[in-house]
Amino acid sequence: MNATGAYRRSVAGVRTVRGPGETLSGSADSVKLGRVEEDLPAGAVQPLDYQSPRMPPGALLTFTEYPDGGKLERGPATFGEMLREAMGPPVSFLFLGFLLCVGIIQSVRLRRRPGPPVLAVAMTGTCFVALATLVWTVLDAAQNAGIVTEVEVRGPSLSWRKQNFWGTRRREWRTADVESVYVGPFERMLRIGHRSRISLGAFSRFPRAELDSAVALLTLAIARAKAASQQDR
């Protein structure tokens, strides 16, 4: 604690977030998220738990903190998870395509045999909504096809690793283009917002408490990465 009463802490290399009663095999090892522990300079006061984000004991997500970012990861995807992920987009395409075809057919019939105006408006609206949703679904599938098993932000880049039946692949964005991290309002998954692209979806169907804590941890990691990138310029 300095003369003004402000707490000053130092992170030596890597900080690992862990749960009560768990041990570390090395300073850079990742363990289950829980209580925050870090190397402190001599004479420094350990901050209270509420000053740092943490996740519930026994969490399925693992977080490793770096001076210039952090890494959030889960275990490998199971066969059932990959099958469900692979079947999702085709089912959505078929359903939305069916709605679009029904709307178009009914609209053509109404033009030949005019009916109630309300029905014409309803069919037209159905066509527009189905088409817009289909386009968004295609773009979202192109961005988020596969299961994200790792999100890592280090300095100027944020990267993620995806797994599917054809193996794994890695993609990245510039950290400067990342605008927000949040839990999707209509689905239980973590979302990373981009300045000009469809948001990245990751860690779907995880407990809401874990996702909320992951949002806080990753948001802080992105802030550190952006700060480190500016210092290196």
State how far the Cα of 130 lies from the Cα of 134, in Å rounded to an integer. 6
Give the residue carrying structure tokens 């939305």. 96
pTM: 0.63
Paired tokens of 222: 């992105």
Mean pLDDT of 164-187: 88
CB-based contact 170:125 (threshold 8 Å): no
Q: What is the mean pLDDT of the chain?
A: 75
pLDDT tens digits, 32-86: 333 334 454 554 444 444 446 677 778 889 899 899 999 999 988 888 887 887 7
Each domain of the chain, given as residue ranges in start order, spans 72-77+146-232, 80-143
CB-based contact 162:85 (threshold 8 Å): no
State how far the Cα of 214 lies from the Cα of 75, in Å rounded to an integer. 15
pLDDT tens digits, 134-161: 887 788 777 778 889 999 999 999 999 9
Q: Which amino acid is at 207?
A: P
Write a three-state SS string for 138-167: HHHHHHHCCEEEEEEEECCEEEEEEEECCE
